[in-house]
Structure formats: C-alpha cells, structure tokens
Amino acid sequence: MAEASPARGRWISLTIGICISVACIWFIVQKIDFEQVKIAFERFEWRYFAAGVASLAFGYAMRILRWSKILNAAGSSVTFRQCVAPFLGSITLNNVLPLRLGDVVRALVFPTSIGVSRTTATTSLVMERLVDLMTLLICLALSLALSRHIAAPEWLKETAMSLAIAGTVVLVAIFLLSGAIAAGLENSPKKPIQAAVLLLKSFEAMSRTPVLATLFSLSLLVWLGEAGLFYSLLIGFGLPATPTAAIIIMAIATLATLVPSSPGYVGPFHLAAFAGIALLGGSNDQAASFAVLSHLGLWVPTTIAGAIAIASAPKMFGGLRRLRAGEKAGSKII
C-alpha cells in the first residue's frame, strides 16, 4: 500500500492539472469569435515570428551557459557543449510529460552522462529556479511601474513590487545562511538530513558573490531573449509594442506555468497571455491569437531542439539504469 500512495498522488496532481487546463481554455473559448481569430492570424506578419524565435534561441543559449557556470561553481568540470543535450532534452520532456518530469530527469538521470553528481545537479536546478523567479518578479515589478501602455490596476503593481522585494530578501537570506545551516545539521546521523547537508553545501559553493553576479547577469539575458519573442509577436499582430509591455506579458505568462496544468503548460499560459493582451488594449480575438502563437513559439522550437538532442545523445539515459539499480538496492535494505 505504501508504494501505491506516491503513484496515486501523481495521478491526482495530473487530473487536477488537466481540469485546470480545460477550465482555462473553456474560459477563453467563451470570449472569442473563431472567424475573427482566423482573420487575426491571416493579418499577422510572419517575418516577425522568425525574429522572435531567433531571440528565444539566444535566451536558451544563455540558459545553457548559466547552467554550465553553476555546475562549474560547484566543482564539476563541464563545458557549455556538454550541457547542451541534457538541458535541451529536459526541456522537451517537460513539454510533453506531466508534472515537470523533465526537471526530475535533468536532476537524477542526465547528469551522470557528463560526470555530474545528482546532488550537484539537483542543487543547480534549485538555484536556477530561484534566480529565475526573482529575476522575473523584479522585471515584472519594474515594467509595471514604468509602462504607459498596460492598464494594470494599482493592486497588481503593488503586489508585484511586494513580491519582488520579499523574494529578493528571502533569496539573499538563503544564499547567506546555507553554509551555517549545513554546519548546524552536519552531525546528524539521519540520512535525509545528511542529504540536505550535501545540498546546502553545494548551494553554498554556488552562492559566492562572483558566481551570483554572473548568474544574475546571465538571467537578465535569458529573460530579455525570451521577451524578444513576445515583443516580435506584438509587432506582428500590430499591437502596441514596447519592451516593457513585452516583459510584462512574458512574466505573467511564465509565472502562470507554476499553476498545475496538463503537459506543455496548456491553459494557464494561454489565459495569462490572453489577460496580458487585454490589459494592453487588444481585442479578445487578438488576445487569443497571441496566446496560441506565443505558446507555439515557445513550445515547438524547444521541443524539436530537445528531441534532436536526445536522439543525438541516447547515452544520457544510462543514468536511468543506475537510478533503478539504486532504488532496488534501497528497497532490499528496507
């Protein structure tokens, strides 16, 4: 019975996510005229889509470079080239599998193919997500404060600013205290605590000031690259296109992917992008068209790139056999 509980929990999470996705799409469908959506697509200037994908590719190159810098800061000797296939492969798996399983694979399976420990890979993933979240919140708060084209309510601006400030304080505290917490727990004989100590020590190594300065600089480039896709689509649809508007819509749509959904973040992403275009003054039909095209612009190129990466480096899945072997050994001990 104990083994069935995690599986049951995953099925419940997946079911909830699918229900949320369906509800979001249903809400949008009730607001649009499909004939007008078709016209909006026909009027779109497709050359801007190519420019947006190029900007997105730059952003993903910066993501891979950032991951390699994090791993090297933790003591793993890896190159940018070695990190390409595991990173892009995990993005594809995230796009097509539920419950962000691509992240799990990048933390526990792919790292062995490039000589990185699972502890280091897991810590790097946590660091990456924290830095991304803080960068997004700061970009959203500043863009809302500066934008003249987004008719955002004051409560949204105040909430974004409060979250950005609180997130920065919490993140800095984590960076500063990880070593002290690890030292306090180091003498505990319990295995889960020892695992936590290893994570915290890796985190401390990644939290040195020069490393953090590099990570935040790269994170800004990551999100500027992604915002370039949204900016290009705004121009293509003939909507008011400013860098701040693009950043706001990108940030809202990206943060919406934290909500449980079906594979590929279908639903919450679309509803957030739809709401962003509505704030910009676009029609419901333009908003729906933008939501669909921005999702395709993010999903299709990264999924194809990751599929090619997986096909070109099948040895990455060698860590899966080792992981299963370790789980079987652990179950025998228990």
84: Cβ–Cβ under 8 A, 6 or more apart, which residues? 64, 309
Among positive and negative, which fits the CA dihedral 244, 100, 123, 63?
A: negative
Distance CA 306, CA 83 (A): 12
Query: For position 152, what pLDDT does the model report?
Result: 80
Q: What was the pLDDT predicted at 315? A: 86
| Residue 317 confidence (pLDDT) | 84
Written as one string, the DSSP assignment of 191-256 is HHHHHHHHHHHHHHHHT-HHHHHHHHHHHHHHHHHHHHHHHHHHHHTT----HHHHHHHHHHHHHH
116 token code pair: 């990185």
- DSSP secondary structure, 38-65, as one string: HHHHHHS-THHHHHHHHHHHHHHHHHHH
Task: Give the chain's residues under pLDDT 50.
Answer: 1-3, 327, 329-334
Dihedral, 233, 239, 240, 243 alpha carbons, nearest 10:
-10
Angle at which helices 191-206 and 47-73 cross, to 10°: 110
> Helix (H, G, I), strand (E, B), or coil: what is residue 144?
helix
pLDDT of residue 206: 81
The answer to whether the beta carbons of residues 209 and 25 sit under 8 Å apart is: no
Amino acid 7: pLDDT: 73
284/158 Cα distance (integer angstroms): 26
Are the C-beta atoms of residues 87 and 64 closer than 8 Å to each other?
A: yes
Q: What is the pLDDT of residue 330?
A: 47
Neighbours of 130 (CB within 10 A): 17
Dist CA 41 CA 39 (whole Å) = 5
What are the backbone angles phi and psi of residue 238, rounded to the nearest 5°?
Answer: 75, 25
CA 73, 78, 84: angle at the middle one, nearest 5? 115
Q: What does pLDDT average to over the chain?
A: 89
Cα 318 from Cα 315, distance rounded (Å): 5
Q: What is the model's pTM?
A: 0.90
Would you state the pLDDT for residue 27?
Answer: 95
Distances from the Cα of 182 to the Cα of 107, 128, 174, 244, angstroms: 21, 20, 11, 40
Q: What is the DSSP letter of 313?
A: -
**pLDDT value at position 322?**
59
Report pLDDT for 333.
36
**C-alpha–C-alpha distance, residues 48 and 59, integer Å:** 17
- Here the tokens at position 123 are 């810590």
Gap between the Cα atoms of 222 and 66, Å rounded:
9
Query: What pLDDT does 252 receive?
Result: 95
∠ CA 61-67-68 to the nearest 5 degrees? 90
Closest CA to 63 of 175, 268, 224: 224
Reported as a single tens digit per residue, the pLDDT across 196-228 is 787 777 788 788 888 889 999 999 999 999 999
Q: At what angle do helices 209-236 and 118-146 cross, to 10 degrees?
A: 50
Give whole-number Cα distances, 48 to 39, 235, 236, 274, in Å: 17, 7, 6, 19
Distance of CA 170 to the CA centre of its chain: 19
